[in-house]
């Protein structure tokens, strides 16, 4: 693993469960890598695919999306819709050969501080192994 490479990771958290998870983590004093940037959205179902794409094209090395567990969504079905969107965007990137594995989708509940921290750490290691996002240095985007 290349230790000098510090990936830039955007972590989209829904404001009910994902963000709650990060609060629980802070209450327990758990740590996650500093290069993971949490980004709060109201619901993962409200996250447009364009924001994920924009993060990639502007140089994020990876994107994680965490919302409520199935059945726990504050808006009843936001997380199911988010899953469909993630499926669409990953399928598009896959078809065009643009590394869909840089997107992760994992449920994190309000109380699961450890799960939030673990996900951040695991994804960070995973992206370190993958290497930097080739779109980051392209000048003709």
Partner 1 sequence: MRGAIFKIEKDFDKEIRNFLKKTIVKKFFGAILIPCKVPANDSYAYLLIRDEALIEKASILPPVMPIQGGRVLKSFTRLGKIDAKVAVIMRPCEIRASIELSKLEQVDLTNVTLISVDCPGVIPLSDYLEDPVKGTDTFKEAFKTWESDSVRELCKVCYNFTLTGSDLHIGILGSEQGNLFLIPVSEKGRNLLDFFNINYENDISSWENIVKKKEDERKIKRKEFRENLRQEIEGIDNLLKTFSDCLNCHNCMRVCPICYCRQCFFDSDALNLPSTNYIKRAENRGSIKFPPETLLFHLGRMSHMITSCVSCGSCEDACPVSLPISRVFSFVAENVQNLFNYVPGMSVKDPVPTITYEEEELKEFENPYIETYNIQRM
Q: In the range 42-61, which residues lie near partner 1 by CB under 8 A? A: 48-50, 53-54, 57-59
Q: Evaluate whether 10 touches 37 at the Cβ level (below 8 Å).
A: yes
CB of 4 to partner 1, least distance (A): 18
- Give the strand pairing for 62-66 and 36-41: unpaired
Question: Which C-beta is closer to partner 1: that of 16 or that of 123?
Answer: 123
HSE of 136, CA atoms in CB hemisphere, 13 A:
12
User: What are the φ and ψ backbone dihedral angles of 102, each rounded to 5 degrees?
Assistant: -80, 0
128 near partner 1, judged by CB under 8 A: no
Q: Which of 105, 110, 113, 127 binds partner 1 (CB under 8 A)?
A: 105
CA distance 75 to 103: 23
Contacting positions for partner 1 (CB under 8 A): 48-50, 53-54, 57-59, 70-71, 77, 80-81, 83-92, 94-98, 104-107, 114-115, 117-119, 121-122, 125, 134-141
């Amino acid at each position: 693993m290349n230790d000098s490479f510090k990936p830039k990771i955007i972590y989209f958290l829904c404001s009910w469960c994902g963000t709650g998870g990060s609060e629980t983590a802070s209450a327990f004093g758990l740590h996650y890598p500093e290069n993971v940037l949490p980004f709060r959205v109201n619901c993962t179902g409200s996250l447009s695919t364009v924001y994920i794409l924009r993060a990639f094209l502007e140089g994020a090395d990876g994107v994680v999306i965490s919302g409520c567990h199935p059945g726990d969504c504050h808006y009843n079905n936001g997380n199911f819709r988010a899953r469909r969107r993630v499926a669409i965007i990953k399928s598009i990137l896959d078809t065009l050969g643009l590394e869909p594995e840089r997107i992760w989708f994992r449920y994190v509940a309000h109380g699961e501080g450890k799960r939030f921290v673990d996900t951040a750490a695991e994804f960070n290691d995973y992206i370190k192994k993958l290497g930097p996002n080739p779109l980051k240095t392209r000048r003709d985007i």
